[in-house]
Structure 1
């Protein structure tokens, strides 16, 4: 006999959304104080953009985002020559000021948008505009809408396609604007200029050599390309782009990256298989959250051989709930810092009315402070996405 569950009973009466709303209400209750505390901090912050600090290693200009490849180090056999790769081992001496500024920007807008969503107080919108103007509008402080000089490698590359992953931290900026854009105090000229910036960046991501290479990557990089382009295209209401991304998820990302058991083989062979599996599942989950529409629900999509986002969450959840069950070697770095309150648990629980996944999420670290974790956790303000 089929097990009778609360969700099943609710579905009989057309009330399945009640259970979903219950998950969201639990999340609000847990996060409310944290959101308001972080928003109070954000209200006091002045803008810091890429123009505040520069690196002599960058071949770009004042307004160009610059970062260095995380896993590249000086060669002991040739200290003044090109850097060499140590997969999974982050070089602490790299220039990361622009990345930190972007993460800070994301944190500020995410916090202010969350507080506005909770309270309706437009003071949060007004303060957000100060930062949005600085990053996207003000000629003195704006960032150019491309990533030509991201994750450079000394001696071999002034910028690489892999660096495009750095702008995953603009996603909560874009989503925060979506949440706040209809507020009376949201300056229409700033909104127009900001959407133009993101539209220009979408064009660069789809036409530049580095952008196309990242799109065609075979692992989490292509997942993150789709995830962030989806976020930016949603802000710009670019329906043809959104349609193309739904197609890409169903026909390229999911079938090529997921195994039939729900794992990601390309991540499992890395030196940080646990962290990268989490990261890629978070990204695919957010693709479903951003792109799903009534007539094309990616949450329900399943390939001919049974691959689906639900299977991915089902596969990884036991290793999140009990890390000791992980069957591979520990990650070479930051093994002790994962997991945290992963987005795939929150959004998966909310979508599939899965209380157990939510219970795991709420027991994990809700506000991580480790820089490597934050670098790989672009979604840190879950309520603005729900």
Structure 2
């Protein structure tokens, strides 16, 4: 299961098999995990609970699939259900001039009422189950991401088979495959017609999660990820990239100065990596850091484009996730963006340091939106004084080493939480015999440690999920 079989790792393996379920699945805004790090499996013993979280989340989200762009109940204006479709989230109907004498049906509202923008006020019908594609794509990308990680952790073919099935259904199978465009993403409804907007490009930002997942299976030679599947997915991507780079909708998104632009570069660069265009990906990341990034962070670390929004805490965290993902992609292909300064003199680290000083401003924001980001910054820049670990301990409690992202955001302190319990487990096990024989004392201590982490983690993440699953798409 693990790359080496030292006593500490045997203890970790024992604890991993005993951790109870962590029920609060969470979808990170975005990430790009280094496939080489995952495949090397040189995981710290302190990540044992994070590994179990990944396995549990992989099973949980996979149970919802498979997904297909054709499953929606509403047909796009093109008349082709293979076209991706979603609605703009902050636009609301004003039916005062519709001229109706009876109550309008939803379809009549969508086509006869004028729609007006209310920034930060989420129209709930945008995410009505099954009507459009945005929720399904989000679930599919998370399922691919966590199942690829789960395969790397324990080698079970069920996880790699899940990835193959989900990618095939969404991108490859001719009966269900998505057409390679976003012409009808985040449409603005109303009597003038329903057309896609540049903000809809954001809907596929999590291609940055899918790409390293495929690289893990490709480079790890998972039998279920066949050369035929790989070739067909690359072909789909090569058909989509020209749209993403030249279509008017996409170009407008690229020019966005806020998180929308940042996430655009996440998507483009990661897909260029998938098709083997490393030079193109490097140029894309350089263009981001030389371009819109230059105006995104003030000298004091504030993000002016995000602070003016109705949910500034959320949007600072949201754009931080996009900036971090661009830096991760850059690091993967040999470009260092971590220490680049903006024209005002700010860095990504400064942006995080500022963000953690500002409390949430509404009940729709939660400190948990920054948990994994604090972990990232601490692992990249170092945490010599322990301030980031202390912040996580103060806000997330003893649960933060149970977060899935704790696995790949290393090195980072677990504040002694996991290590202490593993040490105790080993001590008890040694007093009763070999650490590899699964003694009841070791098992009980490992299980108690995991329960202590897992339950606390579930409680602290529950509210975070409810809010972020709405906010994180826009």
Q: Give TM-score scaled by structure 1 length.
A: 0.81
Aligned counterpart for 1:353 among listed residues 367, 379, 382: 382
Corresponding position: 1:131 with 2:160? no
More off after superposition, 303-312 vs 192-201 = 303-312
**Residues 86-235 of structure 1: pairs in structure 2 closer than 5 A:** 86-94=118-126, 96=128, 97=130, 98-155=133-190, 156=192, 157-182=194-219, 183-185=221-223, 186-235=225-274
Corresponding position: 1:61 with 2:80? yes
Corresponding position: 1:49 with 2:68? yes
CA contact (8 A) 1:260 1:307 kept: yes
Within 2, Cα distance between the matches of 1:368 and 1:117? 30
Within 2, Cα distance between the matches of 1:211 and 1:89? 24
Aligned counterpart for 2:355 among listed residues 316, 323, 326: 316
- Residue in structure 1 matched with residue 56 of structure 2 by the alignment: 37
Unmatched 5+ stretches in structure 1: 1-20, 379-386
Q: Give TM-score scaled by structure 2 length.
A: 0.67
The CA deviation string for residues 158-217 of structure 1, in whole angstroms up to 9 with x for no partner, is: 110111101113332222111111324121110111122223222211110101010011
More off after superposition, 54-63 vs 281-290 = 54-63
Within 2, Cα distance between the matches of 1:367 and 1:237? 39
Within 1, Cα distance between the matches of 2:206 and 2:463? 15
Compared CA separation, residues 195 and 368, structure 1 to 2 (3 A) = farther
Corresponding position: 1:277 with 2:316? yes
CA contact (8 A) 2:298 2:344 kept: no
- How many Å apart are 1:303 and its aligned residue? 4.2
Within 2, Cα distance between the matches of 1:26 and 1:297? 29
Aligned counterpart for 2:113 among listed residues 50, 65, 81: 81
Within 2, Cα distance between the matches of 1:317 and 1:369? 16
Within 1, Cα distance between the matches of 2:137 and 2:158? 22
Within 2, Cα distance between the matches of 1:245 and 1:113? 26
CA contact (8 A) 2:313 2:355 kept: no
Within 2, Cα distance between the matches of 1:140 and 1:163? 24
- How many Å apart are 1:60 and its aligned residue? 4.9
CA contact (8 A) 1:60 1:149 kept: no
Within 2, Cα distance between the matches of 1:170 and 1:368? 26
Within 1, Cα distance between the matches of 2:217 and 2:259? 30
Compared CA separation, residues 48 and 250, structure 1 to 2 (3 A) = closer
Compared CA separation, residues 342 and 158, structure 1 to 2 (3 A) = farther
3-state secondary structure, aligned to 2:469: helix
Within 2, Cα distance between the matches of 1:281 and 1:361? 17
CA contact (8 A) 1:102 1:170 kept: no
CA contact (8 A) 2:300 2:354 kept: yes
Within 2, Cα distance between the matches of 1:313 and 1:142? 39
The structure, 1 or 2, with the larger RCO (C-alpha pairs under 8 Å, 6+ apart) is 2
Q: Larger Cα Rg: Structure 1 or Structure 2?
A: 2
Within 1, Cα distance between the matches of 2:166 and 2:316? 33
The CA deviation string for residues 67-107 of structure 1, in whole angstroms up to 9 with x for no partner, is: 11100111153353321111110101225541111111122
3-state secondary structure, aligned to 1:67: strand
- Residue in structure 2 matched with residue 12 of structure 1 by the alignment: none
3-state secondary structure, aligned to 2:44: helix
Compared CA separation, residues 45 and 86, structure 1 to 2 (3 A) = closer
3-state secondary structure, aligned to 2:163: helix
Compared CA separation, residues 26 and 269, structure 1 to 2 (3 A) = farther
CA contact (8 A) 1:105 1:173 kept: no
Corresponding position: 1:373 with 2:457? no
Aligned counterpart for 2:364 among listed residues 309, 330, 334: 334
